[in-house]
Homo-oligomer: A and B are copies of this chain.
Amino acid sequence: MPCLGVLGGMGPAATVDFMSKLVALTPASHDQEHLPVLVASLPQIPDRSAAILGQGKDPLPALLEGLRLLNQAGVGLITIPCATSHHWYDNLSAQSKAPILHIARATAQRIAQGGHAMLLATRGTIASGFFRDELIAQGMTVEIPDPETEQITVDDCIRLVKEGRAPSANQLMERLLERADARGIRTFILGCTELPLAARGIARDGLTLIDSTLELARQAVEHGLRQGWNRQPIVDVPMIDHPG
């Protein structure tokens, strides 16, 4: 049965946020209009950022194992609601039968040509450069948080969300955005899937937050609806009165 595949658990709360966005973005008045989704939430996948920085286990074998599981079940498209893991995107894509959406590309494609933004992401994503490259390809100029000050706050926000302390992350995010605003930065790319949870409810005149989780979900829902995955029965059964 063709359906959407999600390689998740990185972290688990970010995967739940992604799934909740899939549901919210699907126009539906009853269950059966929603898209079928297979989610492998595998939090044991080694830390992606640490690996990029040369400080941890290689997550690639575990990522590939997750893809194998999804492909074996016959999913038609794969999404990975973890930005940092896209450092290995080419490797993952080459070994997946189902195409994999690219979270940074989905985010960049949402942005009108040009503009200036600060990329908020893990240190691994920043060091890797893949996310910045996608934004630059879209004509943006991209600012990176100061590694000695602002990035420490970004790291803390991500850590707090992973610890289940989103309200504390929210306070830190609010201050980070205020200080950057004082320097004239108005647009922020939430380029790590924990960060939309840290930024939940933050809104201000002139502030633009681009949510990579939301943009990945948007492309996934558009693809699934176009393919009609919500119009196919799981098994063909005749219309009968069930004996109860």
Binds B, one of A47-55, A110-118, A180-188, A204-212: A47-55
Would A164 and B24 count as touching, CB distance under 8 A? yes
- A162 contacts which chain B residues (CB < 8 A)? 28-31
Q: In the bound complex, do residue B44 and residue A232 qualify as a contact, i.e. CB atoms below 8 Å apart?
A: yes
* Residue A60 lies at the interface, judged by CB distance under 8 Å to chain B: yes
B interface footprint on A209-238 (CB within 8 Å = 1, 0 otherwise):
000000000000000000000101111011
- Residues 47-73 of A at the B interface (beta carbon under 8 Å): 47, 51-52, 54, 56-62, 65-66, 69, 72-73
Contact: A62 with B234, CB < 8 Å?
yes
Query: How many positions in chain A have a CB within 8 Å of any CB in the partner chain?
Result: 69
Contacting residues, chain B, for A56 (C-beta < 8 A)? 239, 242
Task: Please tell me if A201 contacts chain B, counting CB pairs below 8 Å.
Answer: no
| Inter-chain contacts of A159 with B (CB < 8 A) | 30
Distance in Å: Cβ of A159 to nearest Cβ of chain B: 8
Name the contact of A69 in the complex, choosing from B28, B32, B73 (C-beta under 8 A). B73
- CB neighbours (8 Å) of A172 from chain B are none
18 contacts between A and B (CB under 8 A): A1-B65, A10-B31, A13-B20, A19-B41, A23-B164, A24-B164, A28-B162, A32-B46, A34-B43, A36-B42, A38-B38, A44-B233, A51-B244, A54-B242, A57-B242, A58-B237, A61-B235, A65-B235
Q: Which residues of A contact B (CB under 8 A)?
A: 1, 3, 9-13, 15-16, 19-20, 22-24, 26, 28-47, 51-52, 54, 56-62, 65-66, 69, 72-73, 87, 127-128, 159, 162-164, 230, 232-235, 237-242, 244
